[in-house]
Structure 1
Amino acid sequence: MRRMSKLCESGDGKPATRMGGTRCQACYRYHRKHGTFVRAGSRPPISIEMVLQNVSATESGCLVWQGMTDKDGRPLYYDGDRYAAGENPLVYVQRWMFERYSRKPLVAGQTVTHDCENKKLCVHHAHAILWRDLGSGAFMSRGDGRGVDGVAPAGRCANGHDFDDNNIPYVNPTSGVRSCRRCTRDSKLRARGIDPDSAPYVPYRKGSTHCRAGHEYAVYGFKNRGEGRVCNECVRIKSAKGNLKKGYGLTFEDVARMLHEQDNACATCLTVFTEADPDDFRMGDANVDHCHDRGLTRGLLCMDCNIALGKVKDNPDTLRRMINYLSGRESMPATSRAETCPSTMR
């Protein structure tokens, strides 16, 4: 019979970690960060008073949220009571305010927006409207033009983007949920700190012979990813840039500058590089040499020189002894070298 795990000593009802632990994982994370298990105080549950403490009023009457937001900039609040009860502690403030004052709980498929100048951060219930009541129209089956239960799917997403040939919704094959391509693109830009309005939207081009970077699919090839195609050349360039940045903190502009300073040759043996082409995002036969202890980049080497430095563990004393050894051996007469080198023949 399987034995039930012990509960955390904090009294929040969560199971303690295995291998003799007396606290839950959240407690151990808090201890690692703050050095103590004693919490400074749990967050109070969401209420009108807590909402008013996290907003600033404007002349237009908006209550602009000043607290935590999600990656799309929507107001969020961390409810301590919900966390203690084992529920999702994150509460969308705009939705919570609408439900409280309308006294009607929202269901899946219903979306709230605001008709004021601070559409994204305003939490005033008087400015909130039920933007779309998608209901079952928010879901549809793959390959089926009808929605669930014969209801026609909505022609727009929850943010008002038309589902047309330039904005084909992605349909999750498991849940049937439709995702707007433009909303997905805007969400990714906001997560990177970029205003979506500052970057023009490029429509989805399903029948194009070239990728958006101008690479011809017939030359470089592509991979099918659901409703879209991924250019092989774009994947190669992205991977080359990422590996160079992640491994050495460099860009191909830095590599071009280093090649110019080294006359396009290895820094130690002066072998000319013939395959390195930073303009085409290719390192070729050039290898980045860096200090493993401090992580500093020292230059570009050929493969043989880079391996040689690795074999001697970047030790200058070892290299000096090797130089002295070679210099001494070259100065000895041939007969003396033969006498010091015993024959392997028996």
Structure 2
Amino acid sequence: MFDLRSGKVRPQCKPALPLTEFHRDRRRVDALAFYCKACATARSEESRRRRGIAPQKRSPVPVAEGLKETRQRLHGGSREYHLRRRYGVGQKEFDELLAEQGGVCAICGGADPQHLDHDHRTGWVRGILCFNCNGGLGQFRDSPTRLARAITYLRGTTWQRALIHPGVYQMCSPTRGRPPSPRS
């Protein structure tokens, strides 16, 4: 039915075509699709028309040879795809926002933050954070009240050394009566 050196015969049209005119299909014995690319496209379009489905959209950007991943083809990569789909911004806007922040996390000032923070209620982008700061806000459910209570808690339960006699210190807390355990 086919000669690997010269080409493969199309089932419908019958002339021999070069092997580059067939999509790859590892499941088949010859590792090539049953229909050539042109016939496969025509069959797909006819099937869509019969079922009342709109024609498939074409990419405005030509696809390089062997490059078929949709994210790469349509968006330039997985990162761009993720940012656009989830937050409505691209890598360019991300880089501009990071430059406005001085290249550091908006909360702790740590270097190389990679997480785009957004308000879950409105969807608006707030800034770029490091992994820990972004996770922390998520754990507090973006609630200023919860964060304020956490700050009050930290300030009120921080153990401090109190001088009770020259050279003798005792650990005490402004709101708690117990000293820390000997193991801590």
Q: Same fold (TM over 0.5)?
A: yes
Point out where structure 1 has 5 or more consecutive residues left out of the alignment: 1-139, 155-162, 203-211, 213-227, 274-284
- 1:172 and 1:178 in contact (8 A); partners too: no
2:66 is aligned to 229
The verdict on how the C-alpha distance between 1:286 and 1:299 changes in structure 2, with shifts beyond 3 A counting, is same
Deviation per CA, 1:246-270: give whole Å up to 9, x if none. 1211101110110121111111111
2:118 is aligned to 290
Q: How many residues matched? A: 150
Partner Cα separation in structure 2 for residue 272 and residue 302 of structure 1: 8
The verdict on how the C-alpha distance between 1:317 and 1:231 changes in structure 2, with shifts beyond 3 A counting, is same
The verdict on how the C-alpha distance between 1:191 and 1:231 changes in structure 2, with shifts beyond 3 A counting, is closer
Q: Which structure 2 residues correspond to residues 93-172 of structure 1 after superposition, within 5 A?
A: 141=2, 143=4, 145=7, 147=9, 153=15, 168-170=20-22
- 1:142 and 1:176 in contact (8 A); partners too: no
Q: Which structure 2 residues correspond to residues 239-258 of structure 1 after superposition, within 5 A?
A: 239-258=78-97
Partner Cα separation in structure 1 for residue 121 and residue 143 of structure 2: 12
Residue 314 of structure 1 and its aligned partner are, at CA, apart by 1.2
- The reply on whether 1:191 has 2:27 as its aligned counterpart is no
The letter of the residue matching 1:260 is A
2:133 is aligned to 305
The verdict on how the C-alpha distance between 1:146 and 1:190 changes in structure 2, with shifts beyond 3 A counting, is closer
Question: Which has a greater percent of strand?
Answer: 2
- 1:244 and 1:251 in contact (8 A); partners too: yes
Point out where structure 2 has 5 or more consecutive residues left out of the alignment: 46-54, 163-169
- 1:141 and 1:171 in contact (8 A); partners too: no
What SS does structure 1 have at the residue aligned with 2:77?
A: helix
- 1:141 and 1:148 in contact (8 A); partners too: no
1:267 is aligned to 106
2:34 is aligned to 176
What SS does structure 2 have at the residue aligned with 1:229?
A: coil
Partner Cα separation in structure 1 for residue 134 and residue 124 of structure 2: 15
- 2:159 and 2:171 in contact (8 A); partners too: no
Higher-RCO chain (CA-CA 8 Å, sequence separation at least 6): 2
Q: Select between 307-316 and 318-327 the one with higher mean Cα deviation.
A: 318-327
Q: Which structure 2 residues correspond to residues 313-324 of structure 1 after superposition, within 5 A?
A: 313-324=141-152
The verdict on how the C-alpha distance between 1:340 and 1:240 changes in structure 2, with shifts beyond 3 A counting, is same
Give the root-mean-square deviation of aligned CA atoms: 4.3
- 1:146 and 1:152 in contact (8 A); partners too: no
Partner Cα separation in structure 1 for residue 152 and residue 8 of structure 2: 83
Partner Cα separation in structure 1 for residue 159 and residue 180 of structure 2: 19
Instruction: Give the alignment's TM-score, normalised by structure 2.
Output: 0.59
Partner Cα separation in structure 1 for residue 137 and residue 104 of structure 2: 17
